[in-house]
């Protein structure tokens, strides 16, 4: 039997436990319906590389991993997301994935429902594993939706500043948690943080005030915004949130904030005796990558 993992919003967990994993529309010329998944191999990062990208399109909601097994000879499609998807057997998809020098962007499509009896386990997983926007996106500037302007193009900075101000204005004018989450996700994932004059003092105050609300779904998103907008200014807070360990998603975003500023070498400065058991397990995952 070949092992695969499918990623889904946590809110779908009960439905998946009862009914299995349903198929959906697939936007490939020769694949109209199916479900996306990844071969489970010894490389944890490669197996779970899609988590952050999927999380982004679920407005920052928690993503869970559903592990399942299907027959080795079952036919499916596999390949790079921006390349040709080939039809092959389940065990061959594992072999192909394992032998790739660059495993980023790989995916598998199974064009049938996964029955609940085929599911082996459902787990909460680190929420910041993998790339965002596209593989190796950290190596080059991405297209910034919705403007889709190349950096340096006509009125680029003005367009980005205007959009950020509009998002903060929307944020001030709502007290609905779900709407806040959506706006914060836009600020977190679709904003160019390199433009000058991007933030006013009242915007920083607003972000901090929202963080102090008693809502652990919003806090991880805000930590990502804080790290992007203020960087080292909040360094002591990232460590504080890691040591508190009250919510693993908050810990993960605080870790990633430090990773983006200092790189993975920052792991050596984290005092493990101040961390919870769950936080230490998470840190060990990153040390193994």
Output the pLDDT for position 43.
87
Provide the number of structural domains found in the chain.
Answer: 2
> How much of the chain is in helix, strand and coil states, percent to nearest 5?
50, 20, 35
Domain span at residue 278?
144-288
The enclosing domain of 101 has a CATH number of 3.20.170
Judgement on whether residues 37 and 152 belong to the same structural domain of the protein: no
| Last residue in a domain, options 56, 90, 124 | 124
Judgement on whether residues 65 and 157 belong to the same structural domain of the protein: no
Q: What is the mean pLDDT of the chain?
A: 82
In angstroms, the CA 172 to CA 131 distance is 31
Judgement on whether residues 156 and 258 belong to the same structural domain of the protein: yes
With contact defined as beta carbons under 8 Å apart, do 279 and 251 qualify?
yes
With contact defined as beta carbons under 8 Å apart, do 222 and 210 qualify?
yes
Output the pLDDT for position 144.
42
Output the pLDDT for position 65.
95
Report yes or no on 116 lying in a domain. yes
Output the pLDDT for position 133.
53
Report yes or no on 79 lying in a domain. yes
Q: Locate 41 and state its tokens.
A: 């191999």
Share of the chain above pLDDT 70, in %: 83
Low-confidence residues in the chain, pLDDT < 50: 137-154, 196
Judgement on whether residues 157 and 108 belong to the same structural domain of the protein: no
């Amino acid at each position: 039997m070949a092992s695969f993992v499918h990623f889904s919003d946590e809110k779908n967990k009960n439905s998946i436990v009862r009914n299995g994993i349903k198929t959906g529309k697939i936007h490939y010329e020769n694949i109209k319906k199916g479900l996306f998944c990844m071969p489970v191999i010894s490389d944890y990062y490669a197996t779970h590389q899609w988590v952050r990208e999927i999380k982004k399109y679920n407005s920052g909601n928690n993503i869970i991993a559903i592990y399942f097994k299907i027959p080795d000879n079952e036919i499916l499609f596999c390949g790079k997301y921006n390349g040709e998807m080939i039809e092959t057997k389940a065990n061959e998809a594992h072999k192909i994935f394992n032998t790739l020098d660059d495993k980023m962007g790989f995916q598998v499509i199974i064009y049938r429902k996964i029955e609940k009896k085929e599911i082996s386990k459902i787990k909460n997983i680190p929420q910041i594993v993998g790339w965002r926007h596209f593989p190796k996106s950290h190596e080059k500037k991405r297209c910034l939706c919705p403007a889709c302007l190349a950096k340096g193009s006509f009125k680029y900075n003005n367009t980005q500043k205007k959009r950020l101000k509009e998002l903060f204005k929307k944020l001030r004018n709502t007290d609905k948690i779900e709407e806040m989450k959506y706006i914060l996700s836009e600020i977190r994932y679709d904003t160019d943080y390199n433009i000058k004059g991007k933030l006013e003092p009242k915007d920083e105050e607003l972000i901090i005030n929202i963080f102090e609300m008693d809502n652990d779904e919003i806090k991880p998103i805000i930590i990502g915004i804080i790290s992007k907008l203020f960087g080292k200014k909040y360094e002591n807070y990232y460590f504080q949130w890691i040591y508190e360990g009250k919510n693993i998603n908050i810990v993960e975003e605080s870790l990633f904030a430090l990773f983006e500023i200092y790189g993975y070498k920052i792991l050596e400065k984290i005092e493990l005796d101040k961390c919870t058991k769950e936080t230490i397990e998470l840190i060990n995952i990153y040390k193994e990558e």
